[in-house]
Structure 1
């Protein structure tokens, strides 16, 4: 694996190349550029040198109609490239990269210290085989497509970004900013990244702690016919109660066996998993907006104890409730000794 933190006594700026193409999403490009352009070494000098490249070079029109000047991608490798990032395109367009772009990337893929993608750019990395056997993510709307077209990839649909050795992938659009900030932290350290996050008015970390979308949105999309809408309202009103399959089946006026089968078919998940995610979602809102201690929230949302809630949070979001509140909510004195 390549070295994660290349250092130099002279503190030379690291070269970051954003790879674009006709129709590339503007924020996929400008978001990471803004992060890298603001990053500084301790002496105040720029930490990164940024170039925008395309396979043919020249003027490239983005999805927003903004025209960007680019250099030829082949030419950027004349000097060392630290980070190569592939932008994504519009969701309505084909995510397939041009043959010429794929050929150029295949030829040079081993040269950057670190390579990554923003949003649909993951498809380009997948098409050149770079994501085979790796965990990766992309925009939530096309995660299933990425998994279907490239079954060897371990797709993480809820992640904001995923790091697999020296290959990074981010979710949709603004998640590229989170990933770029994490790269800065990896390169320059926590203090430098925290200073940068404050300057840009950003969270320093959103590493799965805020998933791409909530259980409720996922449930609405999958249960399109709304067969269990009333049940889900009832569940949210009774989170602290027994929500076993027999109880849910009775509330839905179905037999337990038929309920479990139909619920799985209609929503894409088991009743037990759905209950756990609904409870996590409710606990998230309380952690963000309220001031109750974590133990009290665990009780109110039906987890029973904070350790059980901690395990559910780590499984669903990748962070503990205590860490989640530290990033997105208000800390209370009673939380200082919580399990994290």
Structure 2
């Protein structure tokens, strides 16, 4: 019996190191394996074929978080065509970024790889190898300042869950690596392939890269019901300082004001004004925790008329004042 033809195989090489974060590796890896098992290329209809491996510059048995270890192969001397290298993150990232074998290997093969990606604070390894010089990148919010301080030639995007700059892709903390992997599947085989992969993994609809790392409210929305307003939510997040009352939002959604207000409340479960207020509160809380911007500046950037107004909203949603949110970090 003949084996059905598959799409051109693509190699995914995960670069692990002692102290790596298990989910940084297992989450994206499962995306590629699930795509191979269940999805087809949108253009050709052929089954997807990802070949996944784990490599390390050190021991062949690499100890990660949660007292779990994984078998790894030595760093390859050459990369096959169509290879994507993914550098995971974890507590061991500082030692990894000082590993001359690992850093040297990345530098030698940066032009050979089709893509080089980082998950979480794995971006620090890419930066140490010089792969982020002059590029835009993101990482876990805890490491924003460290990345910017140590590598001033990198433009740190503090508001994205993943970033693509040429052949270099980077993602935020932990679960964002799954979003990055789904984006890679979509890039390789089309949005439909990514959607069926997400469905098999019982994930929400693939999140766009420019979605905020820190919008808790967005995560509570039933994405199957709210798909009609997904783009509107992203636009709101990018325009929080604007006048975001019903007329503006209805126009963006291409509906009459009455139809928009009724349909939005039916699907989302709250009025549009409540969503705007929650997104402003989430975003302001993030800035208070991760920056030294004055409260007045944070309030203005997030569309609050004053610090007092921002404070009232934070008390309502979190039971804490804006200043307390800053103090607890």
Question: Structure 2-normalised TM-score?
Answer: 0.64
Distance in 2, Cα, partners of 1:222 & 1:123: 18
Highest CA radius of gyration, 1 or 2? 1
Map Cα deviations across residues 201-244 of structure 1 (whole Å, 9 max, x no partner). Answer: 22222322343353243255369xxxxxxxxxxxxxxxxxxxxx
Alignment-derived partner of residue 17 in structure 2: 21
Q: What residue number does 1:155 align with?
A: 156
Q: CA deviation at 1:180?
A: 0.3
CA contact (8 A) 2:135 2:154 kept: yes
Task: State the Cα distance separating 1:270 from its structure 2 match.
Answer: 5.2
User: What is the match of residue 303 of structure 2?
Assistant: 275
Once the 2 structures are TM-superposed, how far is the Cα of residue 63 of structure 1 from its aligned partner?
Answer: 1.8
Residue number in structure 2 paired with 1:288:
none
Cα distance in 2 for residues equivalent to 1:164 and 1:15: 20
Cα separation, partners in 2 of 1:136 and 1:72, compared to 1, 3 Å: same
Structure 2's unaligned 5+ residue stretches are 216-281, 314-329
Q: Which whole-Å CA distance do the structure 2 matches of 1:79 and 1:158 have between them? A: 34
2:64 aligns to what? 62
| Structure-2 separation of matches of 1:222 and 1:164 | 24
- Deviations along 1:97-122, one digit per CA (max 9) or x if unpaired, are 41221011111111111110001110
Q: Which runs of 5+ in 1 are unaligned?
A: 1-8, 224-263, 284-340
State the partner residue of 1:116. Answer: 117
Kept in 1, the 8 Å contact 2:96–2:125? The answer is yes
State the superposition RMSD in angstroms.
3.0
Q: Is the 8 A contact 1:222 1:268 kept in 2?
A: no
In the alignment, is residue 101 of structure 1 matched against residue 102 of structure 2? yes
Q: Distance in 1 between matches of 2:13 and 2:93?
A: 25
Distance 2:154 2:147 in 1: 8
Residues paired across the two proteins, number? 233
Deviation, structure 1 residue 276: 5.1
Partner of 1:33, secondary structure, is helix
State the Cα distance separating 1:56 from its structure 2 match: 2.7
Q: Hey, what's the Cα distance between the residues in 1 that align with 2:132 and 2:183?
A: 20
Residue of structure 2 in register with 1:73 after alignment: 75
1:158-197 pair list within 5 angstroms: 158-197=159-198
Q: Name 2:208's counterpart in structure 1.
A: 206
Question: Paired residue for 1:334?
Answer: none
Q: Once the 2 structures are TM-superposed, how far is the Cα of residue 11 of structure 1 from its aligned partner?
A: 2.1
- Secondary structure, in 3 states, of the residue corresponding to 2:62? strand
Shift of 1:267: 3.4
Q: Equivalent residue of 1:168, what SS?
A: strand
Contact 1:160-1:212 at 8 Å conserved across structures? no
Q: What residue number does 1:133 align with?
A: 134
User: C-alpha offsets along residues 121-159 of structure 1, whole Å, 9 cap, x if unaligned?
Assistant: 101111111111111000001111101111111100111
Judged with a 3 Å threshold, the aligned counterparts in structure 2 of structure 1 residues 217 and 109 are, in CA distance, closer, same or farther, namely: same
Q: Deviations over 1:57-103 (max 9, x none)?
A: 5100002211100001134x253352100001128966734122101
Counterpart Cα distance in 1 of 2:93 and 2:298: 31
